[in-house]
Chain A
């Protein structure tokens, strides 16, 4: 097997809050291979966005990275490299697409200038050539009349068009890895379908790897080949996508899948997960999901379950893996 493009080892990010230290990301490890699409799924507060931001050292102020955490991209350690080296990596070999393009784009520059700037900063191309390349890229991501649109400001474009601009900026230098944080969450469903189609087409074309952060299991099913499910700052399940949906190993994944409403109109009650996600200042001891879990027994309160291998490429953080007879039906 070839070595992974991105390798994250024991990522830990914490904050100091009035209520005490918050271990928002607590020992996350995973890999992404070249050309692969990996989804990081979970509900609000599970740490998925903070994980994504930390990979590029874009954490908010006050966030503390544990010294033992390592993030290797193509063999280089991102967390310890000098700021200059990191800046040249960001945008060139690793790019990021954010949820809300209105706040991620600069309101006082035309969108053409913003896309061209990426080219000028990272290549030797002159202003005019960079602009031409920017316009070509805007056309490639499906912006009609790209030459005229390039002269417009972000507020003059619709949400879907702005997200296309973000994608053009992210992909113009053909990065090896794109990190997309909820790229379609702010969009209407018909526009979301266009953007997912665009991301798929660009992936085919460039062979990029995609780390997709999302809460939407429908998007996961359509886009990803491998999935990491996060709960309360930890990865609780890692699985190939088909297996995750057909045979989820963790009770949280199972509950999440059952709670998703579908277009099926047979009108059975939705299954729910009782309770709410605990705050990061107050993760329960033992298994962090046990208070909401139907199968929990005393071992779940005393021992924190490790992430154990359930099958090839399938890992689950649950004591049921060793004691399946404890499963209640």
Chain B
């Protein structure tokens, strides 16, 4: 196994996932370039766990989330969910699997049908998957609204009557209706104001605790991730460059990109002096990624050399459960046993 080894099979196991988008110069021309949006990504998500996928625009985090659900078809790679090969499923089996794998989108304005009442939107999944109908379905809708902190009477209203935070709660209720085990949360709080964002973050955590949900939490806001994730995978130009338990990633980031990313976050403490690593320029285009380590043109590591420019670094376990893709990060010595135990 190349990724994290666990004794129990993970709920979601993603290996070497790639998604390349062809770019055409005209409608009838052959593709001239490919955008390597996701370029060989491997990770696992355990039952009840939150794995955060963080990165800046163009890092491929959203594409990766959608490719796992086959909302867009991956170019290559394997996706196993609960032991089933997701990429091998036909349309009917895929629909059945969607009962277990759901998604909550960033934009609570765009992801709800404006002509469906809130109740109808939530009921849809119940009917499609034949989980409940009639009065039983009504009952379930009311219970779901209550669970996400909305009044049951709201079932008869339309999306435009709600605020952004309330709409995001509706989106969450809709995803929960089919009782999934796993939800891809694609920037679920990015469009919300701070005070409302905190409410939704807490709601997602409560639901996880009560229902044992697993989340793939896609986000660009590292502070939100620090409150949500069990483990964090950092993406840059279509690749995972670091993957570690939350505490280790925030306390001892090892990959130079992760270090720069964390140092760039403005901290709400006036007067606090922090060492900031300012990256020069913009991220390169995923249509034409740099050779070797994708981060090398912007990297400030003192030992940066020709190897970085030519050889793609593999994601390696440099410390227990701490995976880093960098030639210059040494593997930590295996922890020696305390003398009292030896």
Interface residue A124 (Cβ < 8 Å from any Cβ of B) = no
With beta carbons under 8 angstroms apart, the residue of B56, B202, B223 that contacts A188 is: B56
A255 to B267, Cβ gap below 8 A? no
Residues of A close to B271: CB separation below 8 A: 242
Interface residue B333 (Cβ < 8 Å from any Cβ of A) = no
Inter-chain CA distance A127–B194, complex, in Å, is 47
Inter-chain CA distance A272–B57, complex, in Å, is 28
Interface residue B35 (Cβ < 8 Å from any Cβ of A) = no
A interface footprint on B13-26 (CB within 8 Å = 1, 0 otherwise): 00000000000000
Which of B90-98, B109-117, B137-145, B273-281 makes up part of the contact surface?
Answer: B273-281
A276 to B165, Cβ gap below 8 A? yes
Nearest chain B CB to A130 CB, angstrom units: 27
The residue in A189, A192, A222, A241 that gathers the most chain B C-beta atoms within 10 A of its C-beta is A189
With beta carbons under 8 angstroms apart, the residue of A189, A217, A241, A273 that contacts B56 is: A189
Interface residue A129 (Cβ < 8 Å from any Cβ of B) = no
- Residues of B257-293 whose CB lies within 8 A of A: 260-272, 276, 278-279, 281-282
With beta carbons under 8 angstroms apart, the residue of A189, A190, A215, A263 that contacts B193 is: A215
- Residues of A261-287 whose CB lies within 8 A of B: 261-265, 267, 269-274, 276-277
From known contacts A44-B193, A158-B282, infer whether A263 and B262 are also in contact, taking CB-CB under 8 Å: yes
Nearest chain A CB to B51 CB, angstrom units: 15
- Residues of B214-263 whose CB lies within 8 A of A: 220-224, 226-227, 246-247, 250-251, 260-263
Residues of B close to A188: CB separation below 8 A: 56-57, 220
Interface residue B195 (Cβ < 8 Å from any Cβ of A) = yes
Nearest chain B CB to A22 CB, angstrom units: 16
Residues of A close to B2: CB separation below 8 A: none
Residues of B close to A43: CB separation below 8 A: 193-196
Interface residue A156 (Cβ < 8 Å from any Cβ of B) = no
With beta carbons under 8 angstroms apart, the residue of B163, B262, B268, B276 that contacts A217 is: B268
With beta carbons under 8 angstroms apart, the residue of B166, B197, B262, B278 that contacts A197 is: B278
B interface footprint on A126-162 (CB within 8 Å = 1, 0 otherwise): 0000000000000000001000000000000011110
Closest A residue to B205 by beta carbon equals A269
Nearest chain A CB to B190 CB, angstrom units: 11
B282 to A191, Cβ gap below 8 A? yes
Interface residue B201 (Cβ < 8 Å from any Cβ of A) = yes
Closest B residue to A223 by beta carbon equals B266
Interface residue A303 (Cβ < 8 Å from any Cβ of B) = no
From known contacts A255-B195, A269-B205, A276-B165, infer whether A260 and B223 are also in contact, taking CB-CB under 8 Å: yes
Nearest chain B CB to A245 CB, angstrom units: 5
Interface residue B199 (Cβ < 8 Å from any Cβ of A) = yes
Residues of A close to B331: CB separation below 8 A: none
From known contacts A215-B193, A256-B194, infer whether A270 and B227 are also in contact, taking CB-CB under 8 Å: yes
Closest A residue to B206 by beta carbon equals A269
B interface footprint on A191-216 (CB within 8 Å = 1, 0 otherwise): 11110110000000000000000011
Inter-chain CA distance A244–B268, complex, in Å, is 11
Interface residue A107 (Cβ < 8 Å from any Cβ of B) = no
The total of interchain contacts (Cβ-Cβ below 8 angstroms) comes to 125
Interface residue B127 (Cβ < 8 Å from any Cβ of A) = no
A194 to B163, Cβ gap below 8 A? no
From known contacts A261-B223, A269-B202, infer whether A221 and B269 are also in contact, taking CB-CB under 8 Å: yes
Interface residue A308 (Cβ < 8 Å from any Cβ of B) = no
Interface residue B198 (Cβ < 8 Å from any Cβ of A) = yes
Interface residue A76 (Cβ < 8 Å from any Cβ of B) = no
B264 to A190, Cβ gap below 8 A? yes
A interface footprint on B41-58 (CB within 8 Å = 1, 0 otherwise): 000000000000000110
Inter-chain CA distance A271–B263, complex, in Å, is 24
- Residues of A217-235 whose CB lies within 8 A of B: 217-222
Inter-chain CA distance A241–B77, complex, in Å, is 51
Closest B residue to A189 by beta carbon equals B264
A261 to B198, Cβ gap below 8 A? yes
Inter-chain CA distance A194–B264, complex, in Å, is 9
Residues of B close to A257: CB separation below 8 A: 268
Nearest chain A CB to B53 CB, angstrom units: 15
A245 to B226, Cβ gap below 8 A? no
B267 to A262, Cβ gap below 8 A? yes
From known contacts A260-B223, A261-B223, infer whether A218 and B266 are also in contact, taking CB-CB under 8 Å: yes
A interface footprint on B77-90 (CB within 8 Å = 1, 0 otherwise): 00000000000000
From known contacts A144-B281, A190-B260, A261-B221, infer whether A221 and B56 are also in contact, taking CB-CB under 8 Å: no
A272 to B227, Cβ gap below 8 A? no
Inter-chain CA distance A264–B163, complex, in Å, is 29
Residues of A close to B198: CB separation below 8 A: 259, 261, 270-273
From known contacts A259-B197, A269-B205, infer whether A276 and B264 are also in contact, taking CB-CB under 8 Å: no
From known contacts A189-B56, A190-B279, A191-B282, infer whether A272 and B266 are also in contact, taking CB-CB under 8 Å: no
Residues of B close to A263: CB separation below 8 A: 222-223, 226, 250, 262, 265, 267
Closest A residue to B285 by beta carbon equals A158
The residue in B195, B201, B223, B279 that gathers the most chain A C-beta atoms within 10 A of its C-beta is B195
Residues of B close to A273: CB separation below 8 A: 195, 198
A260 to B194, Cβ gap below 8 A? yes
From known contacts A269-B202, A270-B227, infer whether A193 and B264 are also in contact, taking CB-CB under 8 Å: yes
A265 to B250, Cβ gap below 8 A? yes
The residue in A144, A158, A217, A265 that gathers the most chain B C-beta atoms within 10 A of its C-beta is A265
With beta carbons under 8 angstroms apart, the residue of A144, A159, A190, A241 that contacts B261 is: A190
With beta carbons under 8 angstroms apart, the residue of B199, B251, B270 that contacts A221 is: B270
Closest A residue to B165 by beta carbon equals A276
From known contacts A189-B265, A262-B226, infer whether A272 and B202 are also in contact, taking CB-CB under 8 Å: yes
B268 to A260, Cβ gap below 8 A? yes
Interface residues of A (CB under 8 A from B): 43-44, 144, 158-161, 188-194, 196-197, 215-222, 241-242, 244-245, 255-257, 259-265, 267, 269-274, 276-277
Q: A-B pairs with the 4 shortest C-beta distances?
A: A218-B266, A188-B56, A193-B264, A43-B193
